[in-house]
Structure 1
Amino acid sequence: MSIDTPDRDMHVRPGLGAAAHVMQGRELEILRIRVDQPMLIFIDKGTKTVRCGDSPSVQAFPGQAILLAGGHTVDFNNGVLEDGEPYEARCLVFDPALLEDAYYAGRIATTDAAAPGPAQLLRQPSPDLAAAFENARRALALTSAVPDAIVRQRLLEVMHWLLEAGIALHRPQVDPRISLKVRSLIVRRLDHNWTATSVAGQLALSEATLRRRLAEESTSFSELLVDARMATALTLLQATTHPVSEIALSVGYESSSRFAVRFRQRFGFSPTTVRGKRLC
């Protein structure tokens, strides 16, 4: 199924959520992607496999969906079918603020709906859930046409249909690791000229303390900076039609060639490989 989208781009409403229509030109293994917020993904073409730590892997085919709980680092494999059609999926991200809705919280308290694991397969999503999902996705995409109050209700409708299926969304547990605090700060302004000194100041730490605590978590400031930028760049390559040079600028690289080198180092393939010839 090919889905018409008014504008194939990332659509974000702070405090509500985000929507994306992802396309990928060839099969790729994508490792160590941080998923901070609950996300529902409907597969339209190809296959999607998700692995998280020691949990069993989950694979979805067209017409199926995967719910990611948020608060985990996962590996993805987005596969294309033998006919060569690109991988295609639609995604909704739920802002944690939605999970504090009083009526939704009250329903969770009075049902036996279970919290999903890191990745949960919806083998046969109900037509009602699928329709609510698409309505919410389109409401987010039509940023100038649908008021925030309506977008909120459409996202909540998806959450309530998940409850009807026995699945309750919960706010991801707070992770105290300093590396996640650094990453959260960086992703707010990926094109900013971040330094270890400026980030340490934002976190009320000395630079030496920041570097020591990151080393204790087996990472470094430079690794986190590159990883945050490359993860966002990957999403933009999959979910938008923006030129690679524009994506590079948006994540802090004036040089497209330097960006391409960093991207290949992180993922093992080039930015243009993500889209493939059919999507360029």
Structure 2
Amino acid sequence: MKDLIAHARQAIASEKGAPFSVYHAIKEQTIINVPITKPLLICVLDGTKRLGVNSEVICDSGEFVFLSNNPQVHLRNIPRGAEYFALLIEFELSDFECLPSDSNPKEPMIKGKVNDALYQSLLQFVDCASYLPDSLWASRRQELLQIFQHEGFPNPRCITTTPDLSHQVYRLVSTDLSADMSSQWLAAELALSESTLRRKLRVEGTSVQEIKDRVKLGTALHLIQTTFESIGIIAERCGYQSQSRFTGKFKQRFGITPTALRKTRMPD
């Protein structure tokens, strides 16, 4: 896994940016209620990840877990030796159209070992970050999905679920985290009455405010895990005018403060 770790570090450090993320920690991280809104491939390259969905799943170095686009999971990222290191690739639902239809029951995740074919494909995917235009990334994600199919893993379509109304609201809120989008405005954008929007979201077990919090705090969690921007700037970028209010909401949701989580990535 050392080559993939080195290549991923190099791609992330470049100014061009990368169509994937790297999460690393030198101390154990425990984070609860992490929202997953798009199919997410997590390849653990060093250390161990423990996930709680319906039951605990252990993903060691050299293994992957492919998460559905709708669970909320509890995570423990555990360094082994020097650090915990994982490569994350987020997929669009449209990416899966390259695969045959799947009539099997939907699953919250697929777990497996990163075999040689998948490893080489991931290495190529990471290396493309230095030169591939954004318009071609969908085809590279589809190539990864086809490798899964070719190598005999379960059809990745088994983890995809049809976007519901909450996903549509999530996408709208994501377009501008600094805006305080009202229920009335969101309903108009979705061609619904405000009361219908609230009722349908209630049936899905959520609300406009819950979705706003999930979007903003989920983005903040990602920024804390992938950047060293100040907590105050991250709070502002995610629509919080008060850093103390942001810290309180973050801890309430994830069970850890932004500062404490940041410290797991930094030496004493």
Q: What's the TM-score bracket when you normalise by the shorter of the two chains?
A: 0.7 to 0.9
Q: Distance in 1 between matches of 2:17 and 2:196?
A: 34
Aligned AA (1:7)? I
Q: Distance in 1 between matches of 2:216 and 2:238?
A: 5
Aligned AA (1:66)? V
Partner of 1:79: 77
**Distance change in 2, residues 1:95/1:216 (3 Å):** closer
Partner of 1:33: 34
Q: Distance in 2 between matches of 1:217 and 1:161?
A: 34
**Aligned residue runs from structure 1 range 1-280, under 5 A:** 1=2, 2-3=5-6, 4-7=9-12, 18-53=19-54, 56-68=55-67, 70-81=68-79, 83=81, 85-101=82-98, 105=99, 108=100, 117-123=107-113, 125-140=114-129, 142=130, 145-148=131-134, 151-167=137-153, 168-170=155-157, 172-176=160-164, 178-276=165-263, 278-279=265-266
1:202-221 Cα offsets, whole Å, 9 max, x none, are: 12223333334334444332
1:152-206 Cα offsets, whole Å, 9 max, x none, are: 4433332222112213222823143x33332232123222221222212212223
Aligned AA (1:133)? L
Q: Distance in 1 between matches of 2:167 and 2:139?
A: 30
Q: Distance in 1 between matches of 2:186 and 2:137?
A: 34
Aligned AA (2:61)? P
Q: Distance in 2 between matches of 1:57 and 1:194?
A: 36
SS in 1 for 2:62: coil
**Distance change in 2, residues 1:161/1:113 (3 Å):** farther
Give me the TM-score of the superposition, normalised by structure 1. 0.78
User: Which deviates further from its counterpart, 260-269 or 32-41?
Assistant: 32-41
Q: Is the CA contact (8 Å cut-off) linking 1:21 and 1:239 kept in structure 2? A: yes
Q: Is the CA contact (8 Å cut-off) linking 1:27 and 1:77 kept in structure 2? A: no
| Count of aligned positions | 260
Give me the TM-score of the superposition, normalised by structure 2. 0.81
CA positional deviation for 1:114: 7.7
Aligned AA (2:11)? P
Q: Distance in 2 between matches of 1:116 and 1:213?
A: 22
* Unmatched segments (≥5 aa) in structure 2: none
CA positional deviation for 1:225: 1.1
Q: Is the CA contact (8 Å cut-off) linking 2:48 and 2:60 kept in structure 1? A: yes
SS in 2 for 1:225: helix
Q: Is the CA contact (8 Å cut-off) linking 2:27 and 2:79 kept in structure 1? A: no
SS in 1 for 2:49: strand
CA RMSD of aligned residues (A): 3.1
Aligned AA (1:128)? A
Q: Distance in 1 between matches of 2:42 and 2:201?
A: 32
Aligned AA (1:163)? Q
Aligned AA (1:61)? D
Q: Distance in 1 between matches of 2:142 and 2:168?
A: 28
Q: Percent identity?
A: 25
Q: Is the CA contact (8 Å cut-off) linking 1:5 and 1:138 kept in structure 2? A: no
**Distance change in 2, residues 1:260/1:153 (3 Å):** same
Q: Distance in 2 between matches of 1:42 and 1:227?
A: 24
SS in 2 for 1:49: strand
